[in-house]
Amino acid sequence: MKEKVKVLLTETEVDARISDLGAQISKDYEGKEIHMICILKGGAFFACELAKRITVPVSIDFMYVSSYGNGTTSSGNVKIVKDLDEPLLDKEVLIAEDIIDSGRTLHHLIPLLYKRKPKSIRVCTLLSKPERREVEMEADYTGFTIPDEFVVGYGLDYAQKYRNLPYIGVVEQ
């Protein structure tokens, strides 16, 4: 059965909010350099757009952490598929995440990254679904708080489809 996708947040809304986040992050990190960690695959679209809007120096690294597979809910098993290429020692780390849902991925990941001795770790997420939290996890920067609906677009997928949509949509069966 083919799914329908209803627009939740338009491309214009998403673009404007990412610009706001970039301005706030630039202000907060004034005089510093940011080492951005993009959480793949979904975070790639958001991280690239966010990095373009940050005015302080940004280096970027990628980490692939999986807990979903092809389903629509977290399996609860967090697996590091691709680790970072660069050390984090004494770096100002900003994690760019597409969505915080159950919170398990970041709850598992942040303590692991702190063992690598960065100066700091902050989290910027495009979307947050607080109704779905299973562990306490809040981002330092949040684009949008959304209802408990399965969303796609802007890097978010349904069985690896719809990542390329330039807006955030809700999958309707």
- State yes or no: is 101 an active-site residue: yes
Cα end-to-end distance, the chain, whole Å:
8
State the catalytic residue, choosing from 101, 140, 148, 157: 101
Contacts of 16 (CB under 8 A, 6+ apart): none
Sheet holding 141-145, edge to edge: 79-82, 58-66, 34-40, 92-100, 120-128, 141-145
N residues, the chain: 173
Q: 168: exposed, middle or buried (C-beta count within 10 Å: 0-12, 13-18, 19+)?
A: buried
Which positions are annotated as active-site residues? 101
